[in-house]
Amino acid sequence: MSRLGKGINWNRLVRSRAFWLGAALVVLITVFSVNSIRSMGGEMFSYLVIDFFSTGIFMATPLILTSIGAVFSERSGVVNIGLEGMMLIGAFFGVMVSYFTGSAWLGVLGGMIAGGLTAALHAYVCISHHANQTVSGVAINVFALALTGFLLKAVFHRAGQTDRVTKLANWIMPDFFRNIPIIGDVLGSNTPPVYIALLLVVAAQVVLFHTPLGLRIRACGEHPEAADTVGINVTGTRYFCVILSGVLAGLSGVTLSLGQLSLFKEAMTDGRGYIAIAAMIFGKWTPLGAFLASLFFGLATGFKFISQSWNMTSIPTDFLLMLPYILTMLALAGFVGRLTPPAASGLPYRRRGSV
Amino acid sequence: MERKKDNSAIKELIVPVTAVFIGLVLGGILMTLTGVNAIEGYKALIMGCFGRLEYVSETIVYTTPLIFTGLAIALGFRCGLFNIGCEGQYIVGLIGAAVVGAMDLGLPTFIHLPLTMLSGMACGAIWASVPGLLKAKFGIHEVVNSIMMNYIALYLSHYLVNGPIKDPGITSPYSREILDTAKLWRFFGQNSPIRVNSGIIIAIAAALFVYYLLFKTTIGYQIRAVGFNPEAARYGGISVPTNIVAAMFISGALAGLAGAVQIMGIQFKFLDIFAFQGYGLDGIAVALVGKSHPLGVLPSALLFGILQRGSQTMQMLAGVPKETIGIMQGVIIIIVAAEGIIKGWLPIRKILGTDKKAAGKEVGRA
C-alpha cells in the first residue's frame, strides 16, 4: 500500500474505474469549455452545454438499452456478440411494421419481437446445440446485415434506405420538471425510448441484484452445475436472458429508426452493438455501470457532432471516436479498475450424463 | 483416427458440405420469393464468375484476400483463439504497405517489393499481438479486444488518410500511389483492366506455408497442442502464453499480408474507408467451412470468392438482391458452428455410423 496521500489510498483510487471515468469527463468538459468560452459569450455557452448533454443522451439511449440486454445475457452465461445484428433487425422490422400499420408503437412492438426471435435463434444454437457463442453471434451479425438489406429491396423496392414512416412522438414532461435548468432542457421533451431506458436501468439493477430471479440468473452464469443442483433450470434461464437481450436490442434498434429518424438505413446501427458490449464490460456487468459507461460513450460520440456543428477544432474527432474502444481495452487490462466477468460466461452447459 | 481414414474424411467434410448445400437451397428459395427463377439466378452467378476472362480474373481477385484472412482465422482456431480482429489487421496492413510502397528510397524491386509486403505484415502482426499479449498476460478474452482494435484501426486509418499520409496533390482522401518497384506483377500487363496478379500465387504459397508450419514443425505442433488442450500442453512443458502470442502474431501477419497484397496488386494506394471491408468476417466463414485446415481454406475461399463476386453479377443480370449471398453465408456459418444440428439428423447419423454421439467440439474453444 502506498502512503502518498494522507488518508487517500492513491493506489486504489488510480485503479478505480470511477476515478478514470470522472477524470476523462473532466478533461472532455474542460477542453470543451475552454474552446467554447474563447469563441462565444456566456449565454451561448449555456445553449452549448444543453446541446452537449442533449446530444449525449441522444447518442447514449440505444447504447443503454443494448448494454443492459448484454448484461442479462452474459450474467446468465451466454456471450452475445450478435446484439449488433439484433439491433439492426429490430430497427428494420420496427420501420416495416410502422409502414404497414401506420402506428409507430406497433412498430416498436414489431422491432422488439423481431429482435427477440433473432436472439432465440442464437439461444437455440448456443444453448441447445452448444455451438461456439462468438461464432454464432458473428453469424447473426452477417445474417442480419444481409437480411435487412434483402428485405429493403424486396419490400420497399429500393436500396439504401426506406421511405419515411410514422415515428414516435416526443413525450413532454410536466411544466415543473421542464423548468429545472439544464435537466429540464435536456429531458423535458424527448423521444419515449429515452425515458424507457432510464426506467429500465433502475428496474434491471433491482431485478438482477435484489430478486430471486436475479440470483438465479447470476448463478447460471457463475456456476451452472451448482445452479442445476439446487433445482434452477439453467437452460430455461439462459433462454430467457438471451431472448430478453434480443428484445432490448430490438427496442434499441427501434430507438434509432423510429425514435431518432423515421426511416431505416442500411447498416444504420454502425457498430453500436459492439460499443454497447464495451459499455457492459466497462460497467462491470451491472446495469448501473453499463448505464454510466453508455452515457460516457454517448457524450464522447456526441462531442464529435457538437464540435462540428459549433465549428470547434480541438482534438481530431477520430481520436474521440476511438475513446470508448481504448478505454474498454484499458479497463479489461486492469488499468482502470478490476473486472471479473461471470465465471461461466461463454461456456456451454451440458448436464452431466447427458449427451 | 489413423484406423478409419476414409471414414474420417467423410466425417470432416459432411458438415461443411451439407451446410453449403442447405445455403444454396435457401438461396434458391429466396430468389424464387423475389420472383426470379433460381436456375437463372445461379446461372448468372456462374456466368458472372467464369463467363469471360475478366470475370475469371475478378473472381480470383475476390478470392485472394479471403485465402489470407481464412488462413489467419484458421490458424487462430487451431490454437483455440478466435481472431475476429482480421478486419483491423487488414486495414493496418493496407496502411503499412501503402506507406512503405510510396516511399522513394531508390531501392530496386527485389528489395522494395518484399519490404513493402513485410511492412504490411508487420503492421498486422503488431496489431494482432496486442490482444494476444493481453490474453497471454492477463487472460482477457481476445474477442472483445480484437473488436476494439478493429474500430481503433478504422478510425486511425481515417485520421491518417485525411492528414499525415494524404496525397497533397489531390483533394480526395487517398494516400500517394506506391512506386512501380512495389507493385505486384499483373499477368496481363501492369495497366490492364484484367487485375489478376501474382497475389494469388503468394496466397497459395501462404496456404502451403501454414500447412507446413502447423503440421510439420515444432511450433505448429505446440500451437495445436495449446488449442487442443491448454492444460495438457502446459503439463507437457509447452508454454501456453508464448504460443498464444505466437499464434496471434502469425495470424495477424497473414491478415496484414491480405492488406499488403491488396495495395500492391489492386489498389496501389490507400483509399479512405468508411466501413469494414468484410474480408475479416468472410474469413470466418472461409475458415469454418474449410474446417480450419490450410488446404481446406483454399477451396473454401474460392467458394466464397465466387459467391461474393457472383452476388454482384446476380444483381445486375438476374435482378437478385446481392444480399441473398450474405443471408446464405450467415446461415452456413450458423450451421457449421452448431454442427450438432446436422450430425443429429437421422440420414447423416446413418452415413457417419454414429447413432449415439452427436457432440460438437471442433470450432475454437468449446
**Mean pLDDT for the stretch of residues A283-298:** 89
Is A140–B323 a contact, with Cβ atoms under 8 angstroms apart?
Answer: no
Q: What is the pLDDT of residue A36?
A: 58
pLDDT, tens digit (0-9, with 9 covering 90-100), for A89-118: 999 999 999 999 999 999 999 999 999 999
Residue in B275, B333, B341 closest to A267 by CB: B275
Count CB-CB contacts under 10 A for residue B188: 14
Range of the domain at A245: 10-35+43-162+182-332
Is A147–B330 a contact, with Cβ atoms under 8 angstroms apart?
Answer: yes
Chain A positions touching B285 (Cβ under 8 A) are 142
Chain A positions touching B331 (Cβ under 8 A) are 139, 143
Q: What is the pLDDT of residue B101?
A: 93
Does B5-352 carry CATH code 3.30.70? no
Q: What is the pLDDT of residue A178?
A: 81
Is A131–B340 a contact, with Cβ atoms under 8 angstroms apart?
Answer: yes
Q: What is the pLDDT of residue A1?
A: 38
Confidence of residue B366 (pLDDT cuts 50, 70, 90): very low
What ranges do the domains of chain B cover?
5-352
Does B43 have pLDDT greater than 70? yes
Is B321–A334 a contact, with Cβ atoms under 8 angstroms apart?
Answer: no
Q: What is the pLDDT of residue B312?
A: 86
Element housing A172 (H / E): strand A171-172
Does B117 have pLDDT greater than 90? yes
The shortest C-alpha distance from B186 to chain A (Å) reads 32
Chain B positions touching A355 (Cβ under 8 A) are 356-359
Cell of A60: 447514449
Confidence of residue A210 (pLDDT cuts 50, 70, 90): very high
**Of the listed ranges A78-92, A226-240, A304-318, B47-61, the one predicted with least confidence:** A304-318
More confident residue, B171 or A315: B171
Q: What is the pLDDT of residue B362?
A: 41
Does A3 have pLDDT greater than 60? no
Domains held by chain A: number: 1
Q: What is the pLDDT of residue A15?
A: 58
**Mean pLDDT for the stretch of residues B286-300:** 93
Q: What angle do CA B339, B342, B344 make, to 5 degrees?
A: 100
Chain A positions touching B275 (Cβ under 8 A) are 267, 270
Confidence of residue A18 (pLDDT cuts 50, 70, 90): low
Is B288–A153 a contact, with Cβ atoms under 8 angstroms apart?
Answer: no
* Residue A173 · residue A158 · CB < 8 Å: no
Q: Which residues pair with B174 in a beta bridge?
A: B271
Is B340–A129 a contact, with Cβ atoms under 8 angstroms apart?
Answer: yes
Helix axes A234-254, A272-282, angle to 10 degrees: 120
**Mean pLDDT for the stretch of residues B171-194:** 87
ipTM of the complex: 0.84
- Whether the CA torsion B64, B65, B68, B73 is positive or negative: it is negative
Cell of B141: 478474452
Count how many Cα atoms sit within 13 Å of the Cα of residue A325 in the half-sphere of its side chain.
25
The shortest C-alpha distance from A74 to chain B (Å) reads 13
Chain A positions touching B82 (Cβ under 8 A) are 132, 134-135
Query: Is residue A151 domain-resident?
Result: yes
d(CA A107, CA A102): 8
Is A134–B84 a contact, with Cβ atoms under 8 angstroms apart?
Answer: yes
Chain B positions touching A349 (Cβ under 8 A) are none
Is A154–B34 a contact, with Cβ atoms under 8 angstroms apart?
Answer: yes
Chain A positions touching B342 (Cβ under 8 A) are none
Query: Is residue A172 domain-resident?
Result: no
Chain B positions touching A325 (Cβ under 8 A) are 148-149, 151-152
Is B334–A139 a contact, with Cβ atoms under 8 angstroms apart?
Answer: yes
Nearest CA in chain B to A322: B152
Q: Which residues pair with B197 in a beta bridge?
A: B186
Is A154–B33 a contact, with Cβ atoms under 8 angstroms apart?
Answer: yes
Query: Is residue A349 domain-resident?
Result: no
The shortest C-alpha distance from A77 to chain B (Å) reads 14
Confidence of residue A33 (pLDDT cuts 50, 70, 90): low
For A6-64, the DSSP string reads SS--HHHHHH-HHHHHHHHHHHHHHHHHHHHHHHS-HHHHHHHHHHHHHHHHHHHHHHH
* Interface residue of A81, A88, A134 to substitute, partner B, most B CBs within 10 Å: A134
Q: What is the pLDDT of residue A196?
A: 95
Q: What is the pLDDT of residue B337?
A: 83
Which CATH number goes with the domain that contains A268? 1.10.3470
More confident residue, B141 or B108: B108
Q: What is the pLDDT of residue A109?
A: 96
Give which of A49, A64, A65, A87 is closest to A292, Cα–Cα.
A64
* Interface residue of B147, B354, B362 to substitute, partner A, most A CBs within 10 Å: B147
* Interface residue of A84, A265, A325, A350 to substitute, partner B, most B CBs within 10 Å: A325
B1: CB partners within 8 A, 6+ apart? B8
Is A135–B364 a contact, with Cβ atoms under 8 angstroms apart?
Answer: yes
Is A332–B358 a contact, with Cβ atoms under 8 angstroms apart?
Answer: no
The shortest C-alpha distance from A144 to chain B (Å) reads 8
Alpha helices in chain A (DSSP H): 10-15, 17-39, 42-75, 83-101, 104-123, 133-156, 175-178, 183-187, 192-210, 212-222, 224-229, 234-254, 272-282, 287-309, 317-332
Phi, psi angles (nearest 5°) of residue B200:
-65, -35
Q: What percent of chain A has pLDDT over 70?
A: 82
**Mean pLDDT for the stretch of residues A303-331:** 73
